[in-house]
C-alpha cells in the first residue's frame, strides 16, 4: 500500500537484525530490541583494531580465518577483565601493546570508559588466562577476571581516585624537603641527598619503562622520563632531576583524578541496578542477589526502589520515574501488562512485577554495552590523532638526539648546554595530552547524551552530528503522531459504506502501516464484521491487493489507480483534490473495472514538532521533509512547520534526494520506518525515533529513546559543544608542545618546566572534557 511509501512494512521479518527479535508489547520494545542487537556482536580484526589481526606465533593458524567469518566468531572465546589502575587512554594503549607479544591471542579490545579488557582467544583455558593476567600485572595494573560476561556491568561501581597513590608522592615530597634543608646547611650533603631522592623516585618509573619497552612500547612517557632524569643526574643537575620526577608524579595523580571523574557518568548507569531484590516464591518473600534473577520470576519492589531487570507489571497500576534512562523528569503511569525497563524508579506504592530479561540483557546492560561498542567506532579525527601520535614521539626522540650531537660536533658548541636541551626536548615528546584529548570528550558526550535519553553509536557519529547543516525528516511517525484518523468515507459503487469498509479492512488486516491500522481499528470499533482477504500482497510502488470471494480488490493511492483499474471521472478527481487540499491523505478501493469508494485520513503533528523545528532553525540549521504523501497533504504539514518539503517520494526517491544533498551539505536524516533506512544510511548521519522499527534503529547512528523531537536540538547542541571541545583540546595539546619545543631549543625553559607543561596539558584537556559531561541544554 502506497501510503507515504511504507508499504515495505508488510513483509518485515527483521532480517537486518543479528539476533533473535522478541516483539514485546510496549512502547519501549523497539529500543530494547535495537540495543539487544548489539549485545553479542564480536568485533572484527579490521578497521581500528590495534592488534594486527592475529599475532605471529607458533599457533597462529588458530586465528587465521577472516575476521568476518561467522565460523571464526563462533569458535572464538571471549574473556573479560576489569582493569584497576587504568587511569588514562595512554594506559590502555600500554596494555594493548603488551598483549600483542603473547601467543594465542586473536584480538584484544580495551574499553577505557568502563575499564574493561576484552580478549578473544581460540579456546578458554587456565594457562591462557594466567598468561594474560601476569602480563597485565607486570605492566602495573590489577586484572579482575569476569567469570561470565553477563555480570560484567554489575557490582564494580567504584571509580573514585585511589588515595593510596598519594603515599609515594608524599614520601618523595618529604625527601625533597629534607634534601633542601640539608642543602641550606651543607651544600655537599644536600647535593648527595638530592641524588638519593632522585634515584628513589626514579626506580619505579625506570622499572615500568623497562617492562613497557619489552612489551612493545619503547617510547612511553616513563621511558622518556627515565632517560631525562638519568641524563640530568649524569650532568650534575640532581635537583632538577628530582623536581622532574616529582612533577611527573603530580601530573599522573591529577590525570587519574580527572579521568575517574570523566568515567563517573558511565558508572552512574551501572549504579542504577540494586544489589538485592525481594522475590516471591509460593507466596513467600525472600531476598536474593539481583544477578540471580531469571525470566518468569515474580518480584516485589517498594516505593523508592529501582527495578533490577526489565519487567512486566502485575499490579493494577504504578507511577514510574524513568528519568535516569530517558531524561524525562515526569513519572509515567503504567497499567497491568505494560513492560517497564530496568533501572526505573518506583514512585508511589509497593508493586509486583514479572521478570522478562535474562541476566546481563536488561536495558541498563544494553545501554552500557552500546556505549562500550561505540568506542570502537572512532571519529575520523581520533583515528588521525592515533596515527599521528605513533610517529610524533619517535620523531621528537630523534630530534632530541640530533640537538644533543649536532651543535657540539659540527659547531663546537658546549656539550653540557645542548645535552641539557636535548633532555628537555625528550619530555616534550610524550603524546599523553594529545592521545586523551579526543576519547575523553567522546566518553563524556556519550554519557551525557545517554542520561538525556539519546544513544549515540560512536565517535564518528558524534563528529558528523556536530557538523550537520541540514536536517531531513520523514513525515508519518516522525513529524506526526503516526496515528491517523478516518475523516471522510465516500461510497461510490460499493453496496454500502459498511461493505466498503469491510473490503478495505479485509485487505489491510495484518498490515503494520499507520493508515492501515487506523482503518482496521475504525472498522472494529464500529463492529463491522470482516474476514481477512486471501492472497494479500504488495504491488511495489503502487499499493496492496487481496482476494475476496474469488474477486481481486486493490487499495491504492489515487495517482496510481491507472496501473490497476479504470481512470477516475472528473467528479471523482474533484472530490479527491478537495480532500487533499485540506491536508488529508486519500486512498481508493477499486476493482480492475471500477472505483468502489474513497477514504480520507488525517494525521496530527506531534505536540513538540513546531517547537523542535523552531529550535533547529535558531541553531542555524535548514530543515526538509521527505514524504511519500500527496503534494497537498505534504504542503499543509510543511506550512504549519515552516519547513521545506518533497512529496510523493518512493524509498528510492528519498535515497536519491539524500545522496544529492549529501554531495554538497552535511545532512542528518530523521526517521522511524523501514523505508527510511536506506535514506538514513546514505545521510551523513542517521537519527531514529525511539518508537521506530527495529531496522531503522539498527541503521541509525543515533536514537532518540525518549521518542521526542525536542531531543534533536538537544543532541545538536551537545554534539556541537563536544566537537568544539575536541578542537580546543587538540589546540591546547599541540600548542603547548609547540611553544615548549621552541623555548626548549632556545634554552628558555628547562626540564622541570617541560614536564610541568606535559602533565599540565594532560590535566587541562581532561578537565576541559569534563565540561562536556556537565553540559546542560538551554532550559534545563
Active site residues: 474
Cα–Cα separations (whole angstroms), residue 511 to 542, 577, 678, 728: 15, 27, 21, 51
> For residues 624 and 237, what is the distance between their CA atoms, to the nearest angstrom?
67
> For residues 245 and 751, what is the distance between their CA atoms, to the nearest angstrom?
10
CB atoms within 10 A of CB 144: 13
DSSP 480: B
Would you state the torsion angle of the CA atoms of residues 305, 311, 314, 317, taken in this order, to the nearest 10 degrees? 60
Sign of CA dihedral 227, 232, 238, 242: negative
Which has the closest alpha carbon to 155: 270, 266, 264? Answer: 270
3-state secondary structure 166-177: HHHHHHHHHHHH
Q: How far apart are the first and last CA of the chain?
A: 43
Cα–Cα separations (whole angstroms), residue 44 to 63, 71, 120, 128, 743: 12, 13, 10, 21, 45
**Strands, E assignment, 255-322:** 276-281, 284-289, 298-301, 311-313, 317-321
> For residues 52 and 46, what is the distance between their CA atoms, to the nearest angstrom?
8
Counting Cβ atoms within 10 Å, is residue 447 exposed (0-12), middle (13-18) or buried (19+)? buried
> For residues 533 and 12, what is the distance between their CA atoms, to the nearest angstrom?
19
Counting Cβ atoms within 10 Å, is residue 58 exposed (0-12), middle (13-18) or buried (19+)? exposed
Beta-strand pair 622-626/644-646: parallel
Cα Rg, the chain, nearest whole Å: 32
DSSP 33-70: HHHHTTTTPPPPSSTT--S-SS--STTGGGG-S-TT-H
CB atoms within 10 A of CB 599: 25
Which has the closest alpha carbon to 155: 365, 340, 351? Answer: 365
User: Using N-to-C axis directions, what is the helix angle for 166-185 and 187-214, rounded to 10°?
Assistant: 150
Residue pair 712/689 in contact by the 8 Å Cβ criterion? no
Q: Quick one: cell of 718?
A: 551537545
> For residues 462 and 693, what is the distance between their CA atoms, to the nearest angstrom?
22
What is the enclosing helix (H) or strand (E) of 625?
strand 622-626
The residues, ordered by sequence, that sit 6+ positions from 43 with a Cβ below 8 Å of its Cβ are 49, 107, 109, 373, 376
Three-class SS of residue 292?
Answer: helix
Which has the closest alpha carbon to 145: 99, 75, 78? Answer: 78
Three-class SS of residue 474?
Answer: strand
Q: Quick one: cell of 49?
A: 583494531
> For residues 330 and 320, what is the distance between their CA atoms, to the nearest angstrom?
9
What is the enclosing helix (H) or strand (E) of 109?
strand 107-111
Buried b (16+ CB within 10 A) or exposed e, 705-719: bbbbbbbbbbbbbbb
Amino acid at each position: 500500500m502506497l501510503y507515504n511509501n511504507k508499504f515495505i512494512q508488510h513483509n518485515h521479518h527483521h532480517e537486518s537484525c543479528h539476533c533473535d527479535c522478541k516483539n514485546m508489547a510496549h512502547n519501549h520494545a523497539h529500543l530494547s530490541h535495537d540495543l539487544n542487537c548489539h549485545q553479542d556482536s564480536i568485533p572484527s580484526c579490521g578497521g581500528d583494531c590495534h592488534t594486527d589481526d592475529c599475532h605471529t606465533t607458533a599457533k597462529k593458524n588458530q586465528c587465521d580465518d577472516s575476521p568476518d567469518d561467522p565460523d571464526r566468531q563462533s569458535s572464538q572465546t571471549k574473556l573479560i577483565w576489569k582493569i584497576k589502575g587504568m587511569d588514562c587512554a595512554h594506559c590502555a594503549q600500554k596494555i594493548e601493546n603488551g598483549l600483542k607479544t603473547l601467543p594465542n591471542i586473536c584480538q584484544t579490545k580495551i574499553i577505557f570508559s568502563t575499564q574493561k579488557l576484552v580478549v578473544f582467544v581460540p579456546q578458554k583455558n587456565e594457562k591462557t588466562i594466567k598468561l594474560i593476567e601476569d602480563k597485565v600485572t607486570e605492566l602495573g595494573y590489577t586484572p579482575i577476571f569476569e567469570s561470565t560476561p553477563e555480570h560484567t556491568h554489575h557490582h564494580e561501581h567504584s571509580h573514585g581516585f585511589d588515595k593510596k597513590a598519594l603515599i609515594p608522592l608524599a614520601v618523595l615530597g618529604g625527601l625533597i624537603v629534607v634534601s633542601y634543608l640539608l642543602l641550606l646547611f651543607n651544600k655537599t650533603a644536600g647535593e648527595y641527598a638530592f641524588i638519593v631522592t632522585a634515584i628513589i623516585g626514579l626506580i619505579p618509573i625506570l622499572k615500568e619503562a623497562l617492562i613497557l619497552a619489552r612489551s612493545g612500547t619503547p617510547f612511553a612517557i616513563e621511558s622518556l622520563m627515565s632517560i631525562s632524569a638519568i641524563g640530568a643526574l649524569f650532568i650534575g643537575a640532581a635537583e632538577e632531576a628530582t623536581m622532574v620526577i616529582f612533577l611527573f608524579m603530580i601530573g599522573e595523580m591529577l590525570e587519574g583524578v580527572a579521568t575517574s571523574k570523566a568515567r563517573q557518568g558511565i558508572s552512574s548507569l551501572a549504579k542504577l541496578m540494586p544489589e538485592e531484590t525481594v522475590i516471591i516464591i509460593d507466596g513467600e518473600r525472600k531476598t536474593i542477589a539481583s544477578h540471580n534473577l531469571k525470566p518468569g520470576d515474580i518480584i516485589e519492589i517498594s516505593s523508592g526502589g529501582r527495578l533490577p531487570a526489565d519487567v512486566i507489571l502485575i499490579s493494577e497500576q504504578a507511577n514510574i520515574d524513568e528519568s535516569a534512562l530517558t531524561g524525562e523528569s515526569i513519572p509515567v503511569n503504567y497499567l497491568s501488562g505494560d513492560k517497564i525497563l530496568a533501572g526505573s524508579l518506583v514512585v508511589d506504592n509497593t508493586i509486583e512485577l514479572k521478570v522478562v530479561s535474562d541476566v546481563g540483557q536488561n536495558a541498563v546492560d544494553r545501554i552500557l554495552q552500546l556505549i562500550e561498542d561505540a568506542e570502537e567506532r572512532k571519529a575520523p579525527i581520533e583515528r588521525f590523532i592515533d596515527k599521528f601520535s605513533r610517529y610524533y614521539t619517535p620523531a621528537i626522540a630523534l630530534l632530541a638526539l640530533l640537538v644533543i650531537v649536532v651543535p657540539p660536533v659540527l659547531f663546537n658548541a658546549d656539550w653540557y648546554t645542548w645535552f641539557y636541551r636535548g633532555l628537555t626536548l625528550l619530555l616534550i615528546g610524550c603524546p599523553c595530552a594529545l592521545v586523551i584529548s579526543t576519547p575523553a570528550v567522546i566518553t563524556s558526550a556519550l554519557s551525557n547524551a545517554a542520561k538525556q535519553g539519546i544513544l549515540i553509536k560512536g565517535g564518528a557519529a558524534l563528529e558528523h552530528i556536530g557538523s550537520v547543516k541540514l536536517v531531513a525528516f520523514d513525515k508519518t511517525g516522525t513529524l506526526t503522531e503516526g496515528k491517523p484518523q478516518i475523516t471522510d468515507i465516500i461510497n461510490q459503487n460499493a453496496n454500502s459504506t459498511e461493505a466498503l469498509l469491510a473490503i478495505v479492512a479485509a485487505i489491510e488486516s495484518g498490515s503494520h502501516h499507520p493508515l492501515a491500522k487506523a482503518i482496521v481499528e475504525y472498522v472494529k470499533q464500529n463492529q463491522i464484521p470482516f474476514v481477512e482477504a486471501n492472497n494479500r500482497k504488495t504491488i511495489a510502488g503502487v499499493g496492496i491487493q487481496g482476494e475476496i470471494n474469488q474477486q481481486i480488490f486493490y487499495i491504492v493511492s489515487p495517482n496510481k489507480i491507472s496501473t490497476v483499474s479504470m481512470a477516475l471521472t472528473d467528479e471523482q478527481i474533484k472530490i479527491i483534490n478537495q480532500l487533499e487540499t485540506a491536508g488529508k491523505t486519500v486512498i481508493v478501493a477499486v476493482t480492475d473495472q471500477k472505483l468502489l469508494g474513497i477514504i480520507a485520513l488525517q494525521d496530527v503533528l506531534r505536540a513538540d514538532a513546531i517547537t523542535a523545528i523552531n529550535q533547529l532553525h535558531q541553531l542555524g540549521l535548514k530543515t526538509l521533509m521527505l514524504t511519500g504523501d500527496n503534494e497537498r497533504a505534504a504542503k499543509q504539514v510543511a506550512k504549519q512547520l515552516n519547513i521545506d518539503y518533497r512529496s510523493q517520494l518512493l524509498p528510492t526517491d528519498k535515497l536519491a534526494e539524500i545522496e544529492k544533498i549529501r554531495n554538497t551539505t552535511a545532512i542528518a536524516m530523521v526517521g522511524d520506518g523501514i523505508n527510511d533506512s536506506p535514506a538514513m544510511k546514505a545521510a551523513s548521519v542517521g537519527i531514529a525515533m525511539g518508537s521506530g522499527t527495529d531496522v531503522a534503529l539498527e541503521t541509525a547512528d543515533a536514537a532518540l529513546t525518549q521518542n521526542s523531537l525536542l531531543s534533536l536540538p538537544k543532541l545538536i547542541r551537545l554534539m556541537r559543544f563536544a566537537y568544539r571541545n575536541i578542537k580546543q583540546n587538540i589546540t591546547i595539546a599541540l600548542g603547548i608542545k609547540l611553544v615548549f619545543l621552541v623555548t626548549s631549543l632556545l634554552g628558555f625553559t628547562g626540564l622541570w618546566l617541560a614536564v610541568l607543561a606535559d602533565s599540565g596539558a594532560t590535566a587541562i584537556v581532561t578537565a576541559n572534557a569534563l565540561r562536556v559531561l556537565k553540559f546542560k541544554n538551554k532550559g534545563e
